[in-house]
Structure 1
Amino acid sequence: MKMKHIYIRSIFLFLGLFLSSSCSDYLDKESDTELTLDAVFQSKTKVENWLASCYSRIPDPIWGGTVRQTGWEILADDITPSERWRQYGWDVIPFILGDWSVGSQWAPGYWNGLPQRIRECNIFIQNVKPLPEDGLTQEEVKLMIAECHFLKAYYYTLLLDTYGPIPFNPDAITPVDYNLPDLQVGQTPYDEIVTWVDKELREAALVLPTSYTEGRKFGRATSIMCEAVRARMLLFAASPLVNGNPEYIGHNTKDGKPLFNPTYDANKWRIAADASKKLIMDAEAAGHKLYTELNTAGGIDPFMSCQNLHLVEANNGNKEVLFARPSGDYREYDRHSAPSGNGGAGGLGVTQSLVDAFFMDNGLPITDPSSGYVETGFSSEDGFWTGGTTKYNAIKNAGLVTLAGTYRMYCNREPRFYLAVNFDKAWYTEGDNAGKDNGRRLEFFNGGKDNNHTHDAPQNGYLLRKRTDPTRNPRSGYFAARQGILFRLGEVYLNYAEALNESDPGNADILIYLNKIRERAGVRTYTIGASDALNIHVDNDQESIRKIIRMERRVELCTEGIRYSDLRRWKLAETVLNGPFYGMNYNGTNANDFYKRTVYQNRVYKKSFYWFPVYLAEIEKNPNLVQAPFWDK
């Protein structure tokens, strides 16, 4: 059957990065008429719309990816929503409480949705051709085809990260007159898919540019994006969950083929390290670097640098961004994390364990006896950042981060803490359309301005601050637009340090790249020498370095959609995500009652939860599928 005789319902997607110089949301819309493939691929506009549709399943990393739909950070131990929001369709809230089955609904629908986009990419690759009379050149077609190869590979990494082994036929296009048994295929082993994706991304990277000069093309695939997706995938593939995990021995296809390699391969860590190092070198050669702003003394301002790396657009000088969606649902993210006293939904918080994870201003963890951490009582004076002056705008007086009377748990912490956590009595500023600021202290006691004791209140005494825009004003409906960052250079530095520590312990690059992150954050760096005013001693053995790398990842990458994958690939999720979760006492009406570690939620994490299950309906339709590990026990 010739392809031109196959009728399809074309999915047209208007995407600002293709059709204008502005950045806009991805909007799916189906046409009202049916077109032949020949008709679609005879028009440059329709070709661009088809390609835009191929891009449309890139997840929103601001709201959909980390929070509302995909829920990667809610499934982890960083972001915690109001539990009663489950009545509004928050699918992942029951999951964290153990109410998760092979029939559970999950809004993103990767199992069916991503293969549809992969199929669209295949149709595009097979049918697109130059249209000189319409201004579509051979060179542009070559790039578009490479973009589709990138998208196919990227979508497979999302499927791998979610389900592990999956049915895999990357170049297939289902014909209209298909035979059902031909579609009833089982899963392909995990490592085989990784190998294919690796090759696909490396080949696409040879064709795609490192960047585009046209602003309207921001968000389209580049060689740097190919390398970023590849490096993160290879790090996961080297990790204990899928690299010789003895618990998966016997998890086979229906014909007895192992779906996970049962033998540990140390070389996978070297491959992951090499991939991250190559990405670093190529990205920096292309002009990428850690985002920094300077303070009034001319040094790095850690507050403004770590805040604005998530707010400043790539085309406005943020060279840390490697892969971004032109826009994300910043409005809902900012509204749900804003206090109810200022018109927000006021129930999107962070966990106590994340509060505890941040370092003190001397760079030491709160568990270190030398850190100076004090848990209880209240400060008698204002607290200033002692690492140099800052333009930090949480409190107008430069360098002032906490006011007298602040609970001492929150005093003298590192800059990233104040950028990630809104706590009781923290200073809160709110902008409006005129750019004016007003400020007050947050009131999280029961009955206070920001705790009406409903589901729209800080359920464990905290609200999320990281990646929120300080100029937002829910009362007036003002929310500043911004990009959604999926990959950034700071993560790659930490990926490289981790993979290198596993493959080549003692390599000097490990601390070099780990310290680049800490230097930007304004905390003392690590050294294998003696501690001093600028450095902290660390033993130069693999386990000690592994510990500090994981601590740094928790803090630097918190709430960005990475923590859940980290806990899974390290095989720590069933320990860390199982049991009581703590916060301050949401019911407390005074300081004595509020400021105490209180269990606000008991979570359940079973061994099966490391992978999303194959929906029961899919198992019933396809006898060749096997259920994800431990889900059928």
Structure 2
Amino acid sequence: MKKLINNIGLSCLGLCLNSCVDFIDNAPDDTLTLEMVFDDKVRMEDWLSGVYNKIPDPYWGMLRDYGYDSMGDDLDPSQRWYQWWGNTLNFVIGQWFTNSTWDAGLWNGCPQRIRSAYLFIENAHPIPGQHVTEQDVETMKNECRFLIAYYYWMMLEAYGGIPFFDGLADVESPNLMRGQKSFDEMVTWIDNQLVELSKVLPETWLNKSAQYYGRATSIMCLAVRARMLLFAASPLVNGNEWYKGFKNYDGQERFNSTYDLKKWEKAATACKELIDAAHAAGHDLNRDYNDDGSLDPFMSCYNVFFKRGDVNKEALFVRPDSNFGEFEKHCVPRGASGNGGVGIYQTLVDAFSMQNGKLPITGYNGNYGTPIINQESGYTEKGFSAEKDIRKTKYNLYRGCPGATVDSIGSDGAVYNQVAASGTYNMYVNREPRFYLTVMWNRQWYHQASRETQFMSNEMDGGPTHDAPQAGYLNRKRVSLETNQRDGQHPYRPGILYRLGEAYLNYAEALNESDPSNPDILKYLNLIRERAGVPQYSGNGISDGKDSNGFDRIPLNGQDEVREAIYHERRVELCCENGLRYFDLRRWKKAEEVLDQPMYGMNFSGTKLSDDENDASSFYKRTQYIVRKYERKFYWYPIYQDEIDKDPTLVQAPFWNNQ
């Protein structure tokens, strides 16, 4: 009897690596068979493309559908979008239950792709007459194996415990109800798969045509593995007493509550193996230079996300097609034809260092509305700047601004540009380069509209409408300087899911926990800071004095100080990317501390360009605008209650039983 393709298989088809034809239109559902698919090169490749289509979109998908970028304290979607974004925005304010919908669709979507991948492995074969060789098929099957491991990790990272099948399951078998595996058991299986596949998949597809860009590589295997093992070594799942005695249906504890230093050692080794393999394959941090040969930290950090293909050496795992246009549209001011409500939190504004490398804010008195200002940093929240902030860079925010210093040539022959105008609120001047790549503030020049932004109440970019930044800031990171929403102009770029800069920080963190005197910790941490144009650290065998950019080094003493420095660097280097901040807060067990409290920004209702704290109309003053809620149970996504009702072997995530 011929094998008819069932709905599970069909639902996996459609989205391809760059583009594909939905061949389902060419035959009725009840006549297209597996034999017909896998005897035809185009159909077989389209099936493989369908297996890929659950890879997250790192732009709109991570923000809107998965919601990971909305769940941390970096990207801040307007709560006034509730009628369109109810699911994600409910999670932010703690309105989250076992019957809450989640547009990521991991619980159902990943198993569908996993089953589709196993069907491919079982049925794909060479087609000599259509130039499909045995090696081609073997490689495609290995791609499917990678995607199976990756999708299992995506589910495990979200739910903590998941059902597992290591082959094509019989959908009629009662054995489908088998409960969940323990966290460590799943990590071990995924780890073994990724190690094995890293030895057989190609390290790059760039020597082939563009249609291969984004397909699984050995580097992608090692990147997923390194991030997974870092998570598995972290406090949430390594010695966490919260989950002691919490068991799956088979009586096995879901999480190991005994701390194991070897997990950090294994994570450090995996991160170093990734770095070494990436370097050997030609990967490196993106760096751009001024005309005099000096590093341009602005363009170096900006272009991480906009260079493509073999030019972008930092990208390790990309999704070629992403909805960056919709993402950018929601970061563009309303008065420039955008839906300008994707802002950033005040805590992220506070996190960027000053130009001298010192932190402006060292903590808060009780809540985020009362910062502890580091007087030695030169930072102030009072008054407005008397001078323009000019930097040696080709990064041009102020093109077309009357009176701005733009693309001027200094006596050294290098290009200088203005990053903040005179009269700018002092909070936003003399900050490190990454600050200006991330923060769009009130009265900053917006060259696509040839005017300053106007975020005050009843102004063209401000409230009370929903398309306005509720904290007084819009996001700039990963938004192209060439974007013009009025013309529908959104320059292409690949969606980067893993990059080498993160790998350096992952390695530094794992090494600091497992071998705190190792000089590699500051070596790789300083490579990130060097590229970002901020002073580097001394300690762990690195002497005081000047760093490679001519700054005075900042001393670090002991494992605890180094840990905090790594945490801070991740905060600013990886902000607004793929939910990494939210994952960090979870795995560090800091989500309740950081997210369960009122959030502050500038005064959304302000109508005066004033910093007078006693004037209700002042815009430039810290003002509470939302109360976030985060409970211990939120660390893991709950399984839908109707799924548990159908399968008594499923055990709900910790602390959710009464919901």
TM-score using structure 2 length = 0.90
**Equivalent residue, structure 2, for 1:567:** 585
Q: Is the 8 A contact 1:8 1:37 kept in 2?
A: no
**Equivalent residue, structure 1, for 2:484:** 473
**Counterpart of 2:447 in 1: which secondary structure?**
strand
Out of 193, 199, 205, the residue aligned to residue 206 of structure 1 is 199
Please give the alpha-carbon distance, in whole angstroms, between the structure 2 residues aligned to 1:99 and 1:57.
26
**Equivalent residue, structure 1, for 2:393:** 390
Q: Is the 8 A contact 2:21 2:46 kept in 1?
A: no
Please give the alpha-carbon distance, in whole angstroms, between the structure 2 residues aligned to 1:618 and 1:232.
29
How far apart are residue 556 of structure 1 and its match?
A: 0.2
Out of 91, 108, 112, the residue aligned to residue 95 of structure 1 is 91
How far apart are residue 360 of structure 1 and its match?
A: 0.6
How far apart are residue 14 of structure 1 and its match?
A: 5.1
How far apart are residue 28 of structure 1 and its match?
A: 10
Out of 589, 597, 604, the residue aligned to residue 579 of structure 1 is 597
Flag the 1:28–1:392 CA change in 2: closer, same or farther, 3 A. Answer: farther
Deviations 1:18-58 (A, max 9, x none): xxxxx459989776433221121111111101100110100
How far apart are residue 540 of structure 1 and its match?
A: 3.1
**Equivalent residue, structure 2, for 1:540:** 557
1:1-150 mapped onto 2 (5 Å cutoff): 4-9=2-7, 10-11=9-10, 13=13, 17=17, 23-24=18-19, 32-34=28-30, 35-65=32-62, 67-150=63-146
Flag the 1:98–1:16 CA change in 2: closer, same or farther, 3 A. Answer: closer
Please give the alpha-carbon distance, in whole angstroms, between the structure 2 residues aligned to 1:29 and 1:266.
51
How far apart are residue 172 of structure 1 and its match?
A: 3.0
Please give the alpha-carbon distance, in whole angstroms, between the structure 2 residues aligned to 1:204 and 1:342.
47
Flag the 1:625–1:343 CA change in 2: closer, same or farther, 3 A. Answer: same
**Equivalent residue, structure 1, for 2:515:** 504
Q: Is the 8 A contact 2:162 2:180 kept in 1?
A: yes
Q: Is the 8 A contact 1:78 1:354 kept in 2?
A: yes
- 2:447 corresponds to 1:448: no
Task: Tell me the amino acid that sits aligned with residue 285 of structure 2.
Answer: L
How far apart are residue 89 of structure 1 and its match?
A: 3.5
Out of 578, 588, 593, the residue aligned to residue 606 of structure 2 is 588
Flag the 1:28–1:359 CA change in 2: closer, same or farther, 3 A. Answer: farther
1:97-496 mapped onto 2 (5 Å cutoff): 97-175=93-171, 178-179=172-173, 181-212=174-205, 213-214=207-208, 215-315=210-310, 317-367=311-361, 368-385=374-391, 389-396=392-399, 397=406, 398-430=416-448, 439-496=450-507
Deviations 1:72-102 (A, max 9, x none): 1211110111102120134110111110000
Query: What do you get for the CA RMSD once the two structures are aligned?
Result: 1.7
Q: Is the 8 A contact 1:272 1:499 kept in 2?
A: yes
How far apart are residue 452 of structure 1 and its match?
A: 4.2
How many residues are aligned here? 611
How far apart are residue 591 of structure 1 and its match?
A: 2.0
- Structure 2 residues without counterparts, runs of 5 or longer: 362-373, 400-405, 407-415, 611-617
Please give the alpha-carbon distance, in whole angstroms, between the structure 2 residues aligned to 1:354 and 1:275.
30
How far apart are residue 6 of structure 1 and its match?
A: 5.0
Flag the 1:478–1:614 CA change in 2: closer, same or farther, 3 A. Answer: same
- Please, which moves more after superposition, 452-461 or 516-525? 452-461
Q: Is the 8 A contact 1:68 1:90 kept in 2?
A: no
Task: Tell me the amino acid that sits aligned with residue 313 of structure 1.
Answer: R
Deviations 1:531-555 (A, max 9, x none): 6552333333110000000000000
**Counterpart of 1:601 in 2: which secondary structure?**
strand
Task: Tell me the amino acid that sits aligned with residue 566 of structure 1.
Answer: D
Deviations 1:560-594 (A, max 9, x none): 02010000000000110101011000100002310
Flag the 1:26–1:402 CA change in 2: closer, same or farther, 3 A. Answer: farther
Please give the alpha-carbon distance, in whole angstroms, between the structure 2 residues aligned to 1:7 and 1:79.
42
Q: Is the 8 A contact 2:419 2:436 kept in 1?
A: yes
- Please, which moves more after superposition, 354-363 or 443-452? 443-452
Share of identical aligned residues, percent?
Answer: 49
Q: Is the 8 A contact 2:535 2:553 kept in 1?
A: yes
Flag the 1:198–1:595 CA change in 2: closer, same or farther, 3 A. Answer: same
Deviations 1:360-393 (A, max 9, x none): 11111113432111112100111112xxx21011
Flag the 1:27–1:293 CA change in 2: closer, same or farther, 3 A. Answer: farther
Q: Is the 8 A contact 2:443 2:454 kept in 1?
A: yes
Flag the 1:535–1:126 CA change in 2: closer, same or farther, 3 A. Answer: farther
How far apart are residue 399 of structure 1 and its match?
A: 2.6
How far apart are residue 5 of structure 1 and its match?
A: 3.5
Task: Tell me the amino acid that sits aligned with residue 393 of structure 1.
Answer: N
**Equivalent residue, structure 1, for 2:627:** 602
Q: Is the 8 A contact 2:509 2:563 kept in 1?
A: yes
**Equivalent residue, structure 2, for 1:631:** 656
**Counterpart of 2:606 in 1: which secondary structure?**
coil
**Counterpart of 1:520 in 2: which secondary structure?**
helix
Deviations 1:193-218 (A, max 9, x none): 00000011111111111001112200
How far apart are residue 354 of structure 1 and its match?
A: 0.4
- Structure 1 residues without counterparts, runs of 5 or longer: 18-22, 431-437
**Equivalent residue, structure 2, for 1:434:** none
Task: Tell me the amino acid that sits aligned with residue 552 of structure 1.
Answer: E
Task: Tell me the amino acid that sits aligned with residue 546 of structure 1.
Answer: R
Q: Is the 8 A contact 1:424 1:442 kept in 2?
A: yes
Please give the alpha-carbon distance, in whole angstroms, between the structure 2 residues aligned to 1:29 and 1:277.
44
How far apart are residue 128 of structure 1 and its match?
A: 0.9
How far apart are residue 170 of structure 1 and its match?
A: 2.6
Q: Is the 8 A contact 2:396 2:418 kept in 1?
A: no
Please give the alpha-carbon distance, in whole angstroms, between the structure 1 residues aligned to 2:291 and 2:281.
29
